[in-house]
C-alpha cells in the first residue's frame, strides 16, 4: 500500500520566482527516485505557502529520499526559500 506525503512549506516573501527555477531543475530527481510514484506542487493564492503532495511506495522510501537530499545538499538549498521548516505528514488511504 502506498503512502501519501504532504509537505506544507511556508515561503519567504518574494521567493517564488527563484523557487520555481529550483523546482524545475530538481523535480525530475524526485520523480526518478526509487519508490516515488508522484509529486504535485501547489501554491497558495498569495504565494506564501507551497504544498508538495507526494505519493511514495512506502514511508521508508520517502525517508530514504530525505536522507539522500540531506547528504547531497539539495535539502539545504530548498530551505533557503522557506521561512520555517516544512510540516511533513504521512497518510495512508482508508478503504471506505
The DSSP 8-state label assigned to residue 80 in this structure reads: T
Q: What is the per-residue pLDDT for 49? A: 97
Q: What is the per-residue pLDDT for 93? A: 87
* Residue given cell 525530475 in the structure block: 28
pLDDT tens digit at each of 96 positions of the chain:
899 999 999 999 999 999 999 999 999 999 999 999 999 999 999 999 999 999 999 999 999 999 999 999 999 999 999 999 999 999 998 888
- Tell me which H or E stretch contains 72: helix 59-72
Q: What is the per-residue pLDDT for 47? A: 94
Q: What is the per-residue pLDDT for 83? A: 97
Sketch out the chain's domains with CATH numbers: 3-91 (3.30.70.100)
How would you write 20-61 as a 3-class SS string? HHHHHHHHHHHHCCCCEEEEEEEECCCCCEEEEEEEECCHHH
Amino acid at each position: 500500500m502506498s503512502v501519501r506525503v504532504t509537505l506544507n512549506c511556508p515561503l519567504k516573501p518574494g521567493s517564488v520566482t527563484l523557487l520555481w527555477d529550483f523546482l524545475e531543475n530538481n523535480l525530475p530527481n524526485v520523480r526518478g527516485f526509487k519508490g516515488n510514484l508522484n509529486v504535485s506542487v501547489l501554491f497558495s493564492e498569495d504565494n506564501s505557502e507551497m504544498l508538495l503532495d507526494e505519493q511514495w511506495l512506502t514511508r521508508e522510501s520517502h525517508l530514504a529520499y530525505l536522507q539522500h537530499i540531506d547528504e547531497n545538499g539539495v535539502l539545504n538549498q530548498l530551505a533557503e526559500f522557506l521561512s520555517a521548516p516544512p510540516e511533513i505528514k504521512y497518510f495512508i488511504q482508508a478503504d471506505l
